[in-house]
Amino acid sequence: MSDAPTTGPLIARNRLWHPPAYTPGYKTSVTRAPSRALVAMGSTLSEETGPAFGRDMLGELDNNLILNFTGQPAIGERIIVHGRVLDETARPVPGVLVEIWQANAGGRYRHKKDGYTAPLDPNFGGCGRTVTNAEGRYEFLTIRPGAYPWPNGVNDWRPMHIHVSVFGSGFGQRLITQMYFEGDPLIKRCPIVNTIPDPAAIDRLVAPLDMGMAIPMDCLAYRFDIVLRGRRQTHFENRREGM
- Spatial CA neighbour of 78 closest among 62, 61, 66: 66
Report mean pLDDT in 10-residue bins for the chain, 243 residues: 57 69 86 80 69 82 98 98 91 92 98 94 97 96 97 95 88 87 97 92 96 98 88 55 39
Amino acid identity of 214?
A: A
- Rounded to an integer, what distance in angstroms lies between the CA atom of residue 189 and that of residue 156? 8
H or E element, residue 149:
strand 148-149
- Spatial CA neighbour of 67 closest among 78, 58, 82: 78
What is the set of active-site residues?
109, 148, 158, 161, 163
- Rounded to an integer, what distance in angstroms lies between the CA atom of residue 113 and that of residue 104? 15
- Spatial CA neighbour of 121 closest among 109, 137, 133: 109
pLDDT at 181: 98
Question: Do residues 234 and 65 lie in contact, with contact meaning Cβ atoms separated by under 8 Å?
Answer: no
May I ask the CATH class of domain 15-227? mainly beta
pLDDT at 37: 78
Question: Do residues 207 and 223 lie in contact, with contact meaning Cβ atoms separated by under 8 Å?
Answer: yes
- Rounded to an integer, what distance in angstroms lies between the CA atom of residue 16 and that of residue 25? 18
- Spatial CA neighbour of 161 closest among 191, 198, 206, 121: 206
What global pTM score does this model have? 0.86
- Rounded to an integer, what distance in angstroms lies between the CA atom of residue 166 and that of residue 169? 9
Amino acid identity of 183?
A: G
pLDDT at 17: 67
Please state the domain extents for the chain.
15-227
Amino acid identity of 99?
A: E
Cα–Cα distances (Å) from 116 to 66, 106, 124, 178, in that order, read 21, 10, 16, 20
